[in-house]
Amino acid sequence: MIEIKISGRGGQGVVLASQILAAAFFKNGMWVQAFPSFGAERRGAPVSAFVRADREEMTLRCGVYRPEWIIVLDAQLLQNPVILSGLKENGSILVNGKEIPEGFQKPGESQVFMVDAVAIAHSCRLGSASFPIVNTAMAGAFARASGMIPLESVLDAVRETVPVEQERNEAAAREAYERVRKV
Amino acid sequence: MKRLLTGNESAATAVKFSRAQVIAAYPITPQTSIAEKLAEYVARGELKGRYMKVESETAAMAACIGASMAGARAFTATSSQGLALMHELLHWASGARLPIVLVNVNRSMAAPWSLGVDQNDSLSQRDTGWMQLYCETGQEVLDSILIAFRLAEETHLPVMVAMDGFLLSHYFEPVDIPSQEEVDRFLPRRKARFRLDPKHPSTFGGGVSSGVLYDLRRKIQADMEAASEHFEKLCTGFSRAFGRSYRPVETFQTEGSDLTLITSGTLTGTVKAFLKGNRQGPKVGLVKIRMFRPFPGEEIRRALKGLKRVAILDRNLSPGAGGIFSQEIKASLLGLEGAPSVVSVVGGLGGVDITPEHIERLVKELLSRKGSPVETLWMEA
Amino acid sequence: MECPRLHEELVSPGHFACPGCGETIAFRHVLHALGKDTVVVTSAGCGSVVDGYYPTTASKLPFFHCSFGTAATTAAGVKAGLEMQGNRRTTVLAWAGDGGTFDIGLQSLSGAAERNEDILYVCYDNEAYMNTGVQRSSATPKGTWTTTTPKGALEDRPKKNLIAILAAHEIPYLSTATVAYPKDLEGKIRRAKKMKGFRFIHILSPCPPGWVYPPEKTVRIARLAVLSRIFPLFEIENGNEYSLSPMEEKMPVTEYIRAQGRFRNFTEEDIAALQKNVDRAWEDLVARSRPARGKG
C-alpha cells in the first residue's frame, strides 16, 4: 500500500492534487483513496490531503501517519516540523521551490526532489501572480520523481479531474515532469 | 462503470438518478457538497427538479413534508445541528407516513463546536419513526439511496441514510455508477396513494382521539417490523439488477471466533483491514450493522448465538447510559440461549481517529478480560 | 514592516481569517469602539471559526458561541442574566453573519427586535454562506454567482431588504457601515452603545474568496459599494427618522461590479438595470432623510 501526503495552503488546490494523483493510480489498475485532513479551512492556512493506492481494495478509513512520499506545495512550509513528521524511513520528499530553504535538514535517509512549479505555473498562465496554481505541475513532477505512474496517466487524470483550462494544466504537468530534479 | 467520487458526490449522483423532484437543503459542513452538486444538476437540467434554497433545516424538512404530501419525491441532506433542528418535523414526517429520503452526514453535536464524526446526531433521532441505514463505503451510499426511495415509497415510511462525515463524505474512491436506464428499471416514478389533490380532496393530520392514535402507532410498529423483510426483498432485487448484495446485518469470520466485534459505518472497514492483517492472531470476527431502524433483533440474535464473546464498538454516546448500539443489542440478547459475553466499547467520538493498530490493541485488551462488565470500556484517543 | 499600534487591540493576531477578510477588520473596529465592558455572543459562521480553536481564542473579551439561528435571543438572555445579577452596565454584542441574521436567525432577530431587547446586534454581511463554502443566502444580490446559484441558475432574487424589516420593528437605532470608513463605523458603534433597547448595525464585509477578488482590494471594494450607493451609509432612529452619513460623490455601479468575479455574468443590460434600481433606491433614501450628520 502506497501512502502519500500532500501539504500546501488553503486555496492552492491541495485536495484537487490528491484527486489527480488518485485518478492517475486508478488508471493503472489500483484501488485508491484520496481525502483531506478535516476541519474548517481558510485561504492561506496550512492544509493537507492524502492519497492511498494498493493493488487490492482498501477498506480502512483512518488518517495517514507514515507516508512514503510527502509532496510540499510551498517550500516555506518546510520550516514547520509538523509538515514532514511521519515520513517513512527512506521515504521521499517532493518540494515546490527554486532552492532548498536555508537551514533545512533532510530527514534521515530520505530523498529530496525539487521543481520550481511557481515558474511553470506562471509560464503556463495558471492562477495569478500572487496565487499561482501549482498542483498540476506537482502531479507531473511526482510521476517522474517516483516512477510509480506514467506521465500519460497524470495527463489523463488532469483532463478528467481538473474543471478548467485542461490544456494549460497538462502543459504544466509535462513541463514539471521534465524539470524535476533530485537534490 | 467505476469512477472516482467522494461519498457526497455518490449521494448526489444517486439522488439525480432517483429523479428526486423536490430537493430542499441547507448547507452545513460536511454535507455541503451534496447540496452544491444537486443545485448544479438542477441548474444544468441534468436533474429535472425543484431545488429550494431554504432558510434553515427546519424549513428544509417542512418543505420536504409539503412536497411529499403533494405527491412528489422529496429529498434532503443534512448533518448534526441541522438534523437536530429537524427533530420536531422528523416525528411529523413519519407520523404522516411520508416517504421522504434524508442523507445525514454524521458529525458531532455542539456544544462545543466539532466537525469530527460521531453518530450522536442520527442516533438521537432513533425514536422519530424513520428507518435508518448506515453506510461503510461510497458504493453503499449510492446504492442505499436508490434502495431507500423504493423502500420508503413501498412502506410509507421515511428513510435516513447515514454516512460518516469526512471518513466517507470526503473520501474520493472507486464507485460503480449505474446508468439512468438501469435505475429507472429498479426504481419507478412515485405514485402517491394519498396526496393533496383538488380532484380528490382530503384532510391530513387533523386531531385524533386517543384510540385512533393508539391504532396508528400499532400500525407503524407493525409496518416497521415488516419493513425489515421488505428491505431484504428489495436487496435481492437490487442484487439481481446491479450485482451487489446487502443485508440488514452482515457477518465476517464469526464462526468459531474467540471474539467478535460489532460495528457500523466506516469503522467496519477499518476493522476489516485489521482482520486482513491478523491472520496469525487470535480468531476475531466481525458483525456489521447496516440497518438500525427497524432494529434487526432477530438477525442479531441469529448472528451472535453461540459466540463466545462480543464487543460492541459505539462511535456515539448517550450520556448517562453509554453507547447506543450497545444498549439495543444487549436488550435483544435477553433470554437468548447461547448468548455471548458482551463488552460495551465507546471510541472515536468527535472524529478521534481509529486505526487498525488501535483495533489490534483493543482486541488484546478485550481478550485479556472475562465476563460482561456493566461499565463501558473507552478506547484510547 | 512594523506598523505603529494606534490603540490597544481587543482582538489578537493569529486568528483564522482568510487574507483580506472584511469581517475581521469590522470586528476589530467594533470591539475597539465598544471597549472592555462588553460580552460577545457569536453564532455559527465565519466569525465563530475565525476566533480560533480551543485552546486558543482571538477575542480578549468574554466570548460565547451559540447555535446558528439564535444569536439575538441568546444575547438577550445574556443581558437579562447580567441585569438580574445587578449589572446593568455591560454591553452585550450579538455578532452574526448574514446567514445567521437574514435567514436562519431571522425569527430570533425579529423576536428580539419586537421586544426591544437591550442588546447591540451587529451583522457582518458577506452576502452568502461563506463559512460553509459560498452558498447563497437571502442577502446575496441578484445575478451573483455562488455554488448554489451556479451559471445557468444565478441568483434570481433581489437582496432581502433587512433594513426595511427592522425599521418596521421601530427599533431605537439602525444603521449601515462598512470597513472602508472605520471612523464612521466606530462612531456609529459609540452612538449605539450609549442608547438602550434593540440597536442594529449592518456592516458590509467584502470576502475575497467568495466575492472573487484579490485579497488586498477589500477596503477598495467596500468603498466602491458606498460610492456607487449600492450600500449607502445612513442611520434610522425609531423606525422613521432617517439621516444620511457623509459620503463622497456618487459614482456609477460599473467599477464595483467589474471588480468582482462573483458578478462575472453581468451583461451590459444587467448593469444598466442595476443602475436604474440603485438610482431609484438612492433617490428614495435621500427623500426620506434629513441632512448628513457630523463630519466624514
Reply yes or no on whether the pLDDT at B366 is more than 70: yes
Q: Give dist(CA B372, CA B311) in Å, integer.
A: 10
Q: What is the mean pLDDT of residues A15-23?
A: 97
**C17 vs A10: CB contact, 8 Å cut-off?**
no
Query: How confident is the model at residue B381, as a pLDDT?
Result: 84
Q: Kindly give, in sequence order, each residue whose CB lies less than 8 Å from that of residue C243, ignoring residues fewer than 6 positions away.
A: C234, C235, C236, C237, C289, C290, C291, C292, C293
- Please report, to the nearest 10 degrees, the dihedral formed by the alpha carbons of residues B273, B274, B276, B279 taken in order: 180
Q: Give dist(CA C68, CA C48) in Å, integer.
A: 10
**A40 vs C215: CB contact, 8 Å cut-off?**
no
Q: How many residues does chain B have?
A: 381
The HSE-up count of residue B78 (CA atoms within 13 Å, CB side) is 29
Percent of chain A with pLDDT over 90: 74
Domains of chain C: residue spans and CATH: 22-290 (3.40.50.970)
Domain with CATH 3.40.50.970 in chain B: 2-195+204-242
Q: Report pLDDT digits (tens) over B218-274.
A: 999 999 999 999 999 999 999 999 999 999 999 999 999 999 999 999 999 999 999
Reply yes or no on whether the pLDDT at A116 is more than 90: yes
Q: Please, which pLDDT band fits residue C295 given cuts at 50, 70 and 90?
A: very low
Q: What is the mean pLDDT of residues B191-195?
A: 92
Q: What is the residue type of A66? A: R
Find, among B98, B103, B73, the residue nearest to B12 by Cα: B103
Query: How confident is the model at residue A46, as a pLDDT?
Result: 85
Q: What is the DSSP letter of C264?
A: T
Contact B81, B104 (CB under 8 A): no
Q: How many CB atoms sit inside 10 A of residue A86's CB?
A: 15
Q: How many CB atoms sit inside 10 A of residue B276's CB?
A: 13
What is the grid cell recorded at A13?
488546490
Query: What number is the ipTM of this complex?
Result: 0.94
Q: Are strands A69-72 and A92-96 parallel, antiparallel or unpaired?
A: parallel
Query: How confident is the model at residue C258, as a pLDDT?
Result: 98
Q: Give dist(CA C22, CA C118) in Å, integer.
A: 27
Closest-approach residue (CA) in chain C for B112 = C65
Residue C129 forms contact with B (CB below 8 Å): yes
Q: How far is CA B15 from the centre of its chain?
A: 16
Residue A98 forms contact with C (CB below 8 Å): no
Closest-approach residue (CA) in chain B for A64 = B355
**C106 vs B55: CB contact, 8 Å cut-off?**
yes
Q: Please, which pLDDT band fits residue A39 given cuts at 50, 70 and 90?
A: low
Q: What is the mean pLDDT of residues C95-116?
A: 97
Q: Report pLDDT digits (tens) over C194-223.
A: 999 999 999 999 999 999 999 999 999 999
Q: Report pLDDT digits (tens) over C54-90.
A: 888 999 999 999 999 999 999 999 999 999 999 999 9
Domain with CATH 3.40.50.920 in chain B: 249-378
Q: What is the mean pLDDT of residues B26-49?
A: 96
Find, among A115, A121, A169, the residue nearest to A142 by Cα: A115
Q: Report pLDDT digits (tens) over B102-143.
A: 999 999 999 999 999 999 999 999 999 999 999 999 999 999
Helix (H, G, I), strand (E, B) or coil at C11: strand
The CA R_g of chain A, rounded to the nearest whole Å, is 15
Q: Please, which pLDDT band fits residue C6 given cuts at 50, 70 and 90?
A: low
Q: What is the mean pLDDT of residues C144-154?
A: 95
Q: Give dist(CA B215, CA B212) in Å, integer.
A: 5
Reply yes or no on whether the pLDDT at C254 is more than 50: yes
Chain B partners of A61 at a C-beta cutoff of 8 Å? 164, 167-168, 171, 266-267, 269-270
- Please report, to the nearest 10 degrees, the dihedral formed by the alpha carbons of residues B190, B192, B198, B201 taken in order: 180
Chain C partners of B43 at a C-beta cutoff of 8 Å? 149-153
Residue A11 forms contact with C (CB below 8 Å): yes
Query: How many A-C residue pairs are in contact by the CB < 8 A criterion?
Result: 19
DSSP assignment of B267-323: HHHHHHHHHHHTTTSS-EEEEEE-EEES--HHHHHHHHTT-SEEEEEES--BTTTB-
Query: How confident is the model at residue C2, as a pLDDT?
Result: 65
Contact B295, B328 (CB under 8 A): yes
Q: How many CB atoms sit inside 10 A of residue B360's CB?
A: 15
DSSP assignment of A64-92: --S-SEEEES-GGGGGSTTTTTTPPTT-E
**End-to-end Cα distance, chain C:** 29
Contact A168, A126 (CB under 8 A): yes
Q: How many CB atoms sit inside 10 A of residue B240's CB?
A: 10
The CATH number corresponding to B2-195+204-242 among 3.40.50.970, 2.40.110.10, 1.10.150.120, 3.40.718.10 equals: 3.40.50.970
What architecture is the B249-378 domain classified under in CATH?
A: 3-Layer(aba) Sandwich (3.40)
Query: How confident is the model at residue A42, as a pLDDT?
Result: 72
For residue B340, cis peptide bond before it (omega within 30 degrees of 0): no
**B27 vs C132: CB contact, 8 Å cut-off?**
yes
Q: Mean pLDDT of all residues in chain C?
A: 94
**Max CA distance (Å), chain B:** 69
H helices of chain B, in order, are 7-17, 32-44, 57-69, 80-85, 87-95, 120-123, 138-155, 180-186, 210-242, 267-277, 297-304, 324-332, 356-368
Contact B28, B57 (CB under 8 A): yes
Percent of chain C with pLDDT over 70: 96
Q: Give dist(CA C86, CA C80) in Å, integer.
A: 10
Q: Please, which pLDDT band fits residue C291 given cuts at 50, 70 and 90?
A: low
Q: What is the residue type of C266? A: F
Closest-approach residue (CA) in chain A for C50 = A42
Chain B partners of A38 at a C-beta cutoff of 8 Å? 30, 115-116, 165-166, 170, 351
In terms of pLDDT, which residue wins out, C273 or C53?
Answer: C273
Chain C partners of A43 at a C-beta cutoff of 8 Å? 18-19, 208-209, 215
DSSP assignment of chain C: -PPPP-S--SB-SS--PPTT-HHHHHHHHHHHHH-SSEEEEEESSHHHHHT--TT--SBSS-EEEE-TT-HHHHHHHHHHHHHHTT----EEEEEEESIIIIITTHHHHHHHHHTT-S-EEEEEE-SSBTTTTSB--TTSPTT--BTTB-TTS---SPPP-HHHHHHHTT-SEEEEEETT-HHHHHHHHHHHHHS-S-EEEEEE---HHHHTS-GGGHHHHHHHHHHTTSS--EEEETTTEEEEPP------SHHHHHT-GGGTT--HHHHHHHHHHHHHHHHHHHHHEESPPS--
Q: How far is CA A73 from CA A143, A155, B147, C59, in A?
A: 15, 19, 42, 32
Q: What is the pTM of this model?
A: 0.93
Q: Please, which pLDDT band fits residue A12 given cuts at 50, 70 and 90?
A: confident
**B273 vs A58: CB contact, 8 Å cut-off?**
yes
Q: Please, which pLDDT band fits residue C294 given cuts at 50, 70 and 90?
A: low
| Lowest mean per-residue pLDDT among A86-90, B278-282, C195-199 | B278-282
Query: How confident is the model at residue B18, as a pLDDT?
Result: 98
Q: Kindly give, in sequence order, each residue whose CB lies less than 8 Å from that of residue A135, ignoring residues fewer than 6 positions away.
A: A8, A12, A13, A14, A16, A17, A20, A73
Q: What is the DSSP letter of C239?
A: T
Q: What is the residue type of B117? A: V
Query: How confident is the model at residue C4, as a pLDDT?
Result: 63
* Candidates B1, B2, B4, partner chain A, best to mutate (most A CBs within 10 A): B4
Query: How confident is the model at residue C296, as a pLDDT?
Result: 43
Q: Kindly give, in sequence order, each residue whose CB lies less than 8 Å from that of residue B356, ignoring residues fewer than 6 positions away.
A: A60, A62, B270, B271, B273, B274, B277
Handedness of CA B130, B122, B242, B267 (dihedral sign): negative
Q: Give dist(CA A94, CA A114) in Å, integer.
A: 6
For residue B319, cis peptide bond before it (omega within 30 degrees of 0): no
Closest-approach residue (CA) in chain A for C131 = A40
Q: What is the mean pLDDT of residues A150-179?
A: 95
Find, among B249, B313, B319, B309, the residue nearest to B284 by Cα: B309
